[in-house]
Amino acid sequence: MTERVVLAYSGGLDTSVCIGWIAEETGAEVIAVAVDVGQGGEDLDVIRKRALACGAVEAEVADAKDEFAEEYCLPAIKANALYMDKYPLVSALSRPTIVKHLVAAAEKHGASTVAHGCTGKGNDQVRFEAGIQSLAPQLKCIAPVRDYAMTRDKAIAFCEDKGLPIATTKKSPYSIDQNVFGRAVETGFLEDIWNAPIEDLYEYTSNPATAQESDEVVIAFEKGVPVAIDGRPVTVLQAIQQLNERAGAQGIGRIDMVEDRLVGIKSREVYEAPGAIALITAHQELEAVTVERELARYKRQVELRWTELVYDGLWFSPLKRALDGFVAEANEHVTGEIRMTLQGGRATVTGRRSAQSLYDFNLATYDTGDTFDQSMSKGFIEIFGLSSKIAAKRDLAQ
């Protein structure tokens, strides 16, 4: 029986060439799998037909936008996931979504190997292969660009030699990855970290310096899940899409950072994630109202570790699964509404309300109706600072 390889297929030059390249190098039949996580671009059926025209024996396409939003983006929102306090895991979240479909296709078609188009110096190779190994440890992984030194020049020559139906126009100076949760741009002149980004880089966001009227939005959550915008019910996908448009129009979600990659190098990345940043900002503020102090403090530690695990490609790891349970429990009372003003690149929270609120007006107020017994504070301070006071006496006596 001829060996079969499942290929993560995007429809572009590199992965189209990979179909024939893998067949020549390994003698295997190639099954192309394209997964729509909201990256836009060509119709899925066009991509499927191109894969077959390039030599794939089978081609599958999957509309996974809702799956991606509900099963991958939503947990990140609940975890307030921002790698290095900035990056909302745009690419890192899409990889396990794609991996799940690749593994299912491998099982369906009896494939022994899964292939992807990643290079040998990025994070995505780890995310694909660690994910595949976690779900199907019997599968092998190959990466033609990395394993067979498939440079772009070689890919173009192969494409022209075989007469593949792929346009081989001049490559964009940037490397771009995008989905419904955001957009990542790197390489080109950005590799000089002194160079400022230019407006041509951006697609999801308008220039925040352009004067325009502010946009007020009210986002409702139930147990950490965004369920309505301005009183109109939404799915998680719709919440992200609508806020991509509204927050993006105000220039919100632009991130320019030097990032610590898993493989040990620092990389300059420019991100756009208007919907993600707006939702995480609102979610954080609602947690501030509804989550008890010690739980909130500990959750910040869990958020950091959860985010690192996902960034590092360990979505399917035992620790990540265990932390998911904590995050879900911590969101049990995160229900209510957040009002925000979107303008000038910022999502500014201006109002909060929740039936689950731990904010007590009568305890907080300094006016008539104050129910906080201030007389208790003197004794509390004495006990709270006692150990430091004893240590200070010792230190002064020496």
Catalytic residues: 14, 95, 124, 175
Interaxial angle between packed helices 318-330 and 293-311, expressed in degrees from 0 to 180 and rounded to the nearest 10: 150
Contact 78, 327 (CB under 8 A): yes
* C-alpha–C-alpha distance, residues 163 and 320, integer Å: 45
Please tell me the distance from the alpha carbon of residue 17 to that of residue 155, in angstroms, as a whole number: 6
Q: Which DSSP symbol is given to 128?
A: H
The token duo for 154 is: 């070689």
Three-state DSSP state, 254: strand
Rounded to the nearest angstrom, the gap between the alpha carbon of residue 254 and the centroid of all alpha carbons in its chain is: 14
- Quick one: 138 exposed, middle or buried, by C-beta within 10 A (0-12, 13-18, 19+)? exposed
Backbone angles phi, psi at 199, to 5 degrees: -60, -30
Which contacts qualify for 231-238: CB closer than 8 Å, 24 or more apart?
235/66, 235/69, 235/70, 236/66, 236/69, 236/70, 236/73, 236/74, 237/38, 237/65, 237/66, 237/68, 237/69, 237/70, 237/180
Extract the runs of DSSP E, i.e. beta strands, from 129-196.
140-142, 175-179, 182-186
| Chain Cα centroid distance, residue 380 | 44
Instruction: Provide the strand spans (E) within 273-379.
Output: 336-343, 346-353
Joined together, the tokens standing for residue 287 give: 């947690």
Query: Quick check: 139 and 107 in contact, CB under 8 A?
Result: no
Q: How close are the terminal C-alpha atoms of the chain, in Å?
A: 83
